Structure 1
Amino acid sequence: MNMLELKNIYMNYHSKLGETRALENINIKVEKGEFISIVGPSGCGKSTLLNIISGLQKPSQGEVFIENVKVSGHCDKLGYMFQNDNLFQWLNVWQNVALGLRISHNLNKENMEKLDVLLKNYGLWDFRNHKPSELSGGMRQRVALIRTLAMEPEVLLLDEPFSALDYQTRLNVSNEIYKIIKHEGKTAVMVTHDISEAISTSSKVVILSSRPAKIKKIIDISFENKYSTPLSRREAPEFRLYFNSIWKELEFDDRE
């Protein structure tokens, strides 16, 4: 079953200097529980595509469907995780993860208990009274993800969620976030510049061309069961083959 489908998405920007074509005829299908990544040259419109999926931007042409229902504007089934964790420094961990529920007037006893379970399941219960400044970068990202999960979205949109972290932390955090998303049974679409990150987390990598961005290629990613986490997949023999295949597509695009 398709959880998410993009049909014939076009995006054009208009200014006094004329029209700029950003996206051209984007068609993507994402199955329930699938984790896909979108890669492409800088400035090609990857984040714009996420904004269109989320309803933050309206495409010039085309449609977005969640579970075969057309999406127009905000959709409760979508959760957005940005590049920065955007935690409020004057609130503690529990208050930060509860913020979305409080704003939407859904902070009832049942949902408060669910938050407690999430914090306990993912190693943050002992830090529930800590402020963000007292947490590591990886822990802050987990808090941001749990805040998003608290709203019970079906699809998570991840806009380079690990880019602000140093390399070693980034590896560990992407591994942790992947496990949480899989354990919660969510569908995920991630934008990243990091080819290795895309391969290690995804079942499918969508490669966009330079602007106006079109889909150059969609590569299916598959590993043996023993390579079940992002960290272990980096050690798999197929990893380098996938990397070279995606790199060649991006390198060729830079020369065009």
Structure 2
Amino acid sequence: MKNLRLSHIYMNYHTIKGETETLKDISFNVEHGEFISIVGPSGCGKSTILNIIAGLLTPSKGEVLVDNEPINKSLLKIGYMFQKDQLFQWLSVLDNVLLGLKVQNKITNDAKDKVKELLLTYGLWDFRDYYPNQLSGGMRQRVALIRTLAIDPTILLLDEPFSALDYQSRLNASDEIYKIIKNENKTAIMVTHDIAEAISMSNRVLILSMRPAFIKKEIKIDLCEKCESPLKSRENPNFSFFFNTIWKEMDLSE
């Protein structure tokens, strides 16, 4: 994937009571290897954007393009991480990771070797026979990400992936997940309510307005050329500048 583009996306929901306009003329590009975060008021349509990219929703108007071709005609493979890890409690770590491949009927020796390599690389091979309730919240999120990576997606969609964790676990998990995504050279789009999280993990932050949502501002995050981790990014003296800039743009009094 060279370029993912959302072009003039509108989204209206129709109910018995009438029509609700959710998204209004959303356009942005994502280059390969970028990490983009989307922030905005609750209920403004952030997750709706991810669902449109994933093909789970069809926009009322506009299109999603990959290298100027409609996304449904591309070979783009999308991985989706939700707010909860969605692990099956009765399956081991290894079986949970293999699940996507089994559903797609793509269990091969090469695929098994790739899964083993991922589990070894990211410190989970020794836990392959454990069950989700035996793991910490951060480890469960790592398992969920590796399950997503096992199908070799071109782009990752992250919908509040750390919101179920306590603060300390959230910091550690975001650090670990970020390093895995960068190490695997994946493109990522994340929805989050946490401004600090968005700044520390992203190349760019898109700020949405209240509904019907449009992009109020796009902030390029240039804390450092090659930050080792989100935790290191938070130590940068310019971090507070980006935080205050985004916070002001998210004024909910309008």
The TM-score with structure 2 as length reference comes to 0.97
Shift of 1:22: 0.1
| Alpha carbons 2:66, 2:74 under 8 Å: kept | no
- Map of 2:239 onto structure 1: 239
Equivalent residue number for residue 170 of structure 1: 170
1:210 paired residue number? 210
Aligned to 1:255: 253
Shift of 1:33: 0.1
Taking the TM superposition and a 5 Å limit, the aligned residue runs for 1:139-218 are 139-218=139-218
Kindly state the Cα deviation for residue 226 of structure 1 after the two structures are TM-superposed. 6.6
- Report the alpha carbon displacement of residue 75 of structure 1 after superposing the two structures with TM: 6.7
Post-superposition offset of 1:241: 0.2
Shift of 1:76: 5.2
* Letter aligned with residue 51 of structure 1: N
How many Å separate the matches in 2 of 1:2 and 1:221? Answer: 21
- CA offset digits 1:163-197 (Å, max 9, x no partner): 00000000000000000000000000000000000
Contact kept in structure 1, 2:208 and 2:214, CA below 8 Å: yes
- The number of aligned residues is 254
Distance in 1 separating the partners of 2:215 and 2:119: 38
Contact 1:41 1:250 in 2 (8 A): yes
Instruction: Note the C-alpha offset of 1:7.
Output: 0.2
- TM-aligned CA deviation for residue 228 of structure 1: 2.8
- Give the deviation of 1:69 after TM superposition: 2.5
Write the mapping of 1:58-137 to structure 2, written as runs, cut at 5 A.
58-72=58-72, 77-137=77-137
Rounded to whole Å, the distance in 1 between the matches of 2:143 and 2:176 is 12
Q: Secondary structure at the match of 1:98?
A: helix
Structure 2 gaps, min length 5: none
RMSD: 1.5
Deviation of the 1:67 alpha carbon:
3.5
SS of corresponding position for 2:250 = helix
Aligned ranges for residues 36-55 of structure 1 at < 5 Å? 36-55=36-55
Please, which runs of 5 or more residues in structure 1 have no aligned partner?
A: none
Query: Runs (4+) of structure 1 moved beyond 3 Å?
Result: 72-76
Q: 37-46 or 226-235, which moves further after superposition?
A: 226-235
Counterpart-to-counterpart distance in 1, 2:66 and 2:204: 18
Secondary structure at 1:27 match in 2: strand
- Provide, for residues 185-234 of structure 1, a one-character-per-residue CA deviation record: whole Å limited to 9, x for no partner: 00000000000000000000000000000000000001224743100111
Matching residue's letter, 1:53: I
Range with greater deviation from structure 2 (198-207 or 73-82): 73-82
- 2:32 counterpart of 1:32: yes
- Percent pairwise identity: 61
CA distance 1:219–1:71, change in 2 (3 Å) = same
SS at the partner of 2:206?
strand
Decide whether the 8 Å contact of 2:76 with 2:155 is kept in 1: no
TM-score, L = length of structure 1:
0.96
For residues 97-137 of structure 1, the C-alpha deviation after alignment (integer angstroms, 9 at most, x for no partner) is 00000111100111000000000000000000001010000
1:62 maps to a residue whose letter is: G
Structure 1: distance between partners of 2:74 and 2:130: 32
Give the letter aligned to residue 65 of structure 1. Answer: L
Q: 1:76, 1:218 → 2: CA distance?
A: 25
Pairwise CA distance, 1:71: 1.6
Aligned 1:4-19 pairs, distance under 5 A: 4-19=4-19
8 Å contact kept, 2:89–2:131 = yes
State how far apart, in whole Å, the 1-side matches of 2:12 and 2:74 are.
Answer: 21
